[in-house]
Structure 1
Amino acid sequence: MKKTLIVLAAIILIGFQACTPDQNFEEAYNSISEEGLKPRIKTLASDEFLGRMPFTEGETKTINYLKEEFQKLGLKPGNGDSYFQEVPLVELNATVDPQMKITGGDQAFELNYWDDFVVLTRRVTDSVRLENSEIVFAGYGTIAPEYNWNDYEGLDVKGKTVMVLINDPGFGTEDKSFFKGNEMTYYGRWTYKYEEAARQGAAGIIIVHETAHASYPFEVVQGGWSGANLYLENSDNNMSRCILEGWVSMESANRMFANMGMEGYDFYEEARKPDFKSFPMNQQLSVGLKNSIKRSVSNNVIAKYEGTTRPDEVIIYSAHWDHFGIGSPVDGDSIYNGAVDNGTGVAAIIQIAEAFTKLNKATERSAVFIAVTAEEQGLLGSAHYAANPIYDPAKTVANLNADAYRPLGRVNDFSIIGYGQSELEEYAERALQRQGRYVLPDQFPEKGSFFRSDHYSFASIGIPALDGSGGTDSEANGKEWGEEQYKKYTSENYHKPSDEYTDDFNAEGIVLDAQVLFEVGYTLANESYFPKWKQGSEFKAIREKQ
């Protein structure tokens, strides 16, 4: 009996040791500190880096600084013998016709640029135009086989302009079995709608804006779809895209429906009905624009910590290094420093990289650290990597993304964007338990935030991706205070010159978040399992094909 108890005790002890991180891990984990984070955030957010805008001296300073930081840690170049991956970009600055002419229906009328519509082209050409292009209403512009939904079924849109609604049919229903209810799926994103219209052969696409469905006002659209915009340059000069892509205000859409005898038509409600059929609007539009074109090359910065037994299987850490450079002055300050967005995320992945180098025993899999460019211009750096992956996506275990960690001190909650997507969430939950913290599911799933940061680019090629950060449940000041600080940052500092580093920058919570990502990556790097997408994820089928 005594011998049996001794054997059982030994088994329990072995099991306990297997579940308890070793000293090797503990020392590396605890090396992530405010002392390591704050100087790096301060440097990245300094005026010397000129707001870290791609194509500028600020980019040169930033990417060279990151290369030097990775070199100091002894990390290998992540792209063959180079720390850089070139990202060819083209800048298009459109001058749009002042009016869009609508003919047909009961009477001809005009919509005014900026107030009523915005439009651009991704085609790299001096000018484009649609002349008397037939308008077709295509509901939500969605083909979603897993939901048995096809707004283009039986519809010929080749050479025509489709008008579609933002978000997806489930929004506003509270029915999680219908698409995902109020949680936006990828089919609800404007990016998907533009891509699908092009696949269907449409010449043009305009999306009807509505603030609740879009989760942002029309002013955001006006700002984003005007002036100079950066795009990835590709071999066909984007000629596979629709000729024109744009938006119209809801008032303008109502006017167009009224012009065909459908005044008061509740198109959002009608288009979500299972028996809805898309239809021609018996109207035509005419509008064009001229482009000024500028080409240049930006850079992703990539470094590698090499594993031992399975070095070709990698965990990718990502954070975008770019911000908005020098812009319109606010209170006399014109440098958009981007301390929180995303000096914090870049500093975090450098600290995580440093933690890997402090391991006495190397991990079995490799860890790759990518600081991507042009996130603020539409995830362009990560999208370029996804289209030109350096590491085989089928052997890329996971992507762990760090974006805009707020300096609120210790917070007890950790908000996972797009909660419910992949098994990586369980890894994060275990890491949070060690810290006495808890997971907070995405509080605003209707905003589709999962599709708005760089982890989406990795997800789009099937790689399970995790994006999370400390929430608002402040240990020292309570949740109400934390929520006030979150709102204050969003209204006063987000994408403004005032997003700066100050000496009272509290990075305690950023340390904890970085430790969570380190532990998740360390665990993955020492096991053979590949985390999976969960049932219902838009990316599950892509991974399974790999």
Structure 2
Amino acid sequence: MIRSTLTAGVLAGAALFMQPPAGAQIPDAVLAGSAANIEADVRFLGDDLLEGREAGTRGFDLAALYVATQYRLIGLEPAGDDGSYFQSVPLIRGVRDREGARFAITRGDEALEFVFEDEYLPAVNFSTGEESISAPMVFVGQAVAAPHHDHDDFAGVDVAGKIAVVLNSAPASFPDAERAYYAHRIEKWRALEERGAVGMITLGDPEREAKRPWSLDAPNWKRPFMRRLDADGRPADDFPGLRVRVSASVGIAERVFAGSPYTAAEVFAMLEAGELVSFDLAGEATLSTRATLDRLESSNVVARLPGSDPALSQEHIVMTAHLDHVGFGAPVNGDTLYNGVQDNAMGTATMLETARLLADSPESFARSFLFVALTAEEKGLLGAYHYANTPTVPADGIVANVNMDMPVIIGDVTDVIPIGIEHSTLGDVTERAVAQADIVLTPDPAPEEVVFVRSDQYPFVRAGIPAVYLKGGVKLRDGGDGEAIVKAFRAKRYHLPSDDLDQPLYWPAAGRLAYVNYRIGSLIANDPERPQWLPDSFFGQTFGKH
């Protein structure tokens, strides 16, 4: 049995929770040890020394070395490339050039020029680096075609050779899973390219602006964009047929829709009512983008805890957390360093503590575990896509993914929030694990955020692998309004310098979350059956291995 350097008291406590019954309390020694370990990890990973851990930087590489060292201390086997803890992830990076950007609309003798950063920002074309197009515009709602819902935003319009104007998300009337799927940018890009669109303008809306103003993130336009490179060295998921894509503030909507069959106010009213219609827009748009491209490598950090069963040990449960954050950015109250403590030093530390609990457990586990600290999540889940598509173990032996991302530990809570449990038998596993920790499950209070497709479990889902992840809870023992605290975090700290070590952090809640993930892993590892997609799961039907 692999052992780490936990204290004798913690090891003694570990013996107390071998196969705990429902309603059992986490032993005090275990919870205290886990809280202390997580605090130590977070205080290093969230320190200014690591400069925000942006993928492709020295700060990220220091964080990766730290995680590999922790794996070694725990006693985990290297499971990366060439007997190391590191899996190389080839990437292409693009840094936008303000001088090469343009967004203009021409209507007869009228020419409207929009303002870079204040009103729009271009994406990077990773295939060519520089593109410029002029074409008619067409509004296509949310760019969703879902025949099984009798919904087609492309009905009655022709997008071939045109620039599509698109709103975010997907119809609110869709079930949460399908709304998440169709809201994903890859599905929109694919649908537009397949229909011959040459450009895309993604326009903000009043609801999104109220939640997260354009002015909060636009000043960070200098941050690099990235794509992973496929086996042939080409940018993956770049959809080069969409030669220029721009995002635009809701503040320009009236000018975009001017002279068209519907005003901006009417379009947003239709959006709220769920009754969007598509139509050609007046005028022609010119979109330009230019970026400096270079190639680089970052690393996923991968370790293995072998199982005990001769056959089932060839199957793996993959525990993941993204290690990267966003690095430096525009100053906020004079601070330019975005430490990423909740996002995702806390998730990485929770994964490391889950590994310690599993490695030091008196239980034997039939299946094996992989622990993967992922790179470039903030650039589009790139490390996760790379691992899910090119794993370091046989792909058909990966049975489940348990992801840990930005749990938002707000205080002493009695619950956790599960994401994705309705899609597979991992739902039953999660319910049993939570009962063994004497806490409860709370449904996602913000399903419209469609987080199931926005974190690192989604590339595994797309590879047909059942997945789940847990967010920190919102039911505070002192009766406080946990949901309001989480909303305040997202408004005032998420992807801002204030997500740092000065914010309130309650380490025992993080320890409890690690324990729940430990129990989830334990139950999967010793179940004679692999986790299965449920028959009515949209993601199982779409991506499951049949």
SS of residue matched to 1:139: coil
Tell me the equivalent position of 1:260: 260
Query: How far, CA to CA, are the matches of 2:248 and 2:336 in structure 1?
Result: 32
Change (3 A) 1:426 1:213: farther
User: How is 1:460-471 mapped onto 2 (pairs within 5 angstroms)?
Assistant: 460-471=462-473
Residue 91 of structure 1: how far off its partner (Å): 2.0
Match of 2:218 among 205, 216, 222: 222
Matched, 1:86 2:55: no
Tell me the equivalent position of 1:295: 295
Query: How far, CA to CA, are the matches of 1:333 and 1:220 in structure 2?
Result: 14
Query: How far, CA to CA, are the matches of 1:515 and 1:116 in structure 2?
Result: 46
SS of residue matched to 2:97: strand
Matched, 1:210 2:218: no
Query: Per-residue displacement from partner, 1:257-291 (whole Å, max 9, x unpaired)?
Result: 33235446733565799997744335321121221
Query: Per-residue displacement from partner, 1:160-200 (whole Å, max 9, x unpaired)?
Result: 2112222222x2xxxxxx41279942212344322322233
Tell me the equivalent position of 1:10: none
> Does the CA-based 8 Å contact 2:142-2:170 persist in structure 1?
yes
Residue 84 of structure 1: how far off its partner (Å): 1.1
Change (3 A) 1:386 1:122: farther
Change (3 A) 1:104 1:532: farther
Query: Per-residue displacement from partner, 1:391-447 (whole Å, max 9, x unpaired)?
Result: 455432221111223444431121123563433233222222223211111101112
Query: How far, CA to CA, are the matches of 2:140 and 2:256 in structure 1?
Result: 14
Tell me the equivalent position of 1:528: 528
> Does the CA-based 8 Å contact 1:119-1:225 persist in structure 2?
no
Query: Per-residue displacement from partner, 1:81-105 (whole Å, max 9, x unpaired)?
Result: 2211111222212235565232347
Query: How far, CA to CA, are the matches of 1:470 and 1:496 in structure 2?
Result: 20
253-262 vs 464-473, which moves further: 253-262
Query: How far, CA to CA, are the matches of 1:107 and 1:332 in structure 2?
Result: 41
Unaligned runs of 5+ in 2: 1-17
Query: How far, CA to CA, are the matches of 1:461 and 1:531 in structure 2?
Result: 14
Instruction: Give the counterpart letter for 2:213 in structure 1.
Output: P
Identity, % of aligned positions: 29
Change (3 A) 1:32 1:450: farther
Residue 514 of structure 1: how far off its partner (Å): 0.8
SS of residue matched to 2:52: coil
Query: How far, CA to CA, are the matches of 2:542 and 2:30 in structure 1?
Result: 33
Query: How far, CA to CA, are the matches of 2:543 and 2:222 in structure 1?
Result: 36
Query: How far, CA to CA, are the matches of 2:484 and 2:532 in structure 1?
Result: 36
Query: Per-residue displacement from partner, 1:187-214 (whole Å, max 9, x unpaired)?
Result: 1234432232223332111122103257
Tell me the equivalent position of 2:37: 36
Matched, 1:193 2:188: yes
User: How is 1:11-50 mapped onto 2 (pairs within 5 angstroms)?
Assistant: 20=21, 33-50=34-51
Matched, 1:117 2:120: yes
Residue 511 of structure 1: how far off its partner (Å): 1.0
> Does the CA-based 8 Å contact 2:322-2:376 persist in structure 1?
yes
154-163 vs 121-130, which moves further: 154-163
User: How is 1:7-406 mapped onto 2 (pairs within 5 angstroms)?
Assistant: 20=21, 33-79=34-80, 81-96=83-98, 99-104=102-107, 108-131=111-134, 133-153=135-155, 156-169=158-171, 171=172, 178-180=173-175, 184-212=179-207, 216-219=212-215, 222-223=218-219, 227-234=223-230, 235-237=233-235, 240-241=239-240, 242-263=242-263, 266-267=266-267, 278-281=278-281, 283-307=283-307, 308=309, 309-328=311-330, 330=332, 333-406=335-408
> Does the CA-based 8 Å contact 1:379-1:454 persist in structure 2?
yes
240-249 vs 311-320, which moves further: 240-249
241-250 vs 517-526, which moves further: 241-250
- Taking structure 1 as the reference length, the TM-score comes to 0.84
Number of equivalent positions? 518
> Does the CA-based 8 Å contact 2:317-2:401 persist in structure 1?
yes
Residue 107 of structure 1: how far off its partner (Å): 5.1
Instruction: Give the counterpart letter for 1:200 in structure 2.
Output: R
Change (3 A) 1:415 1:360: closer
Query: How far, CA to CA, are the matches of 1:314 and 1:145 in structure 2?
Result: 36
- The root-mean-square deviation of aligned C-alpha atoms, in Å, is 3.5
Instruction: Give the counterpart letter for 1:236 in structure 2.
Output: R
Query: How far, CA to CA, are the matches of 2:402 and 2:252 in structure 1?
Result: 42
Change (3 A) 1:122 1:418: farther
Higher Rg of the two aligned structures? 1
Query: How far, CA to CA, are the matches of 1:394 and 1:533 in structure 2?
Result: 15
Tell me the equivalent position of 1:4: none
Query: Per-residue displacement from partner, 1:379-402 (whole Å, max 9, x unpaired)?
Result: 221122233233455432221111
Query: How far, CA to CA, are the matches of 2:484 and 2:263 in structure 1?
Result: 42
- Taking structure 2 as the reference length, the TM-score comes to 0.84
Tell me the equivalent position of 2:506: 506
Match of 1:454 among 433, 453, 456: 456
Query: How far, CA to CA, are the matches of 1:153 and 1:493 in structure 2?
Result: 41
Tell me the equivalent position of 1:417: 419
> Does the CA-based 8 Å contact 1:185-1:538 persist in structure 2?
no
> Does the CA-based 8 Å contact 2:101-2:289 persist in structure 1?
no
357-366 vs 248-257, which moves further: 248-257
> Does the CA-based 8 Å contact 1:211-1:218 persist in structure 2?
no
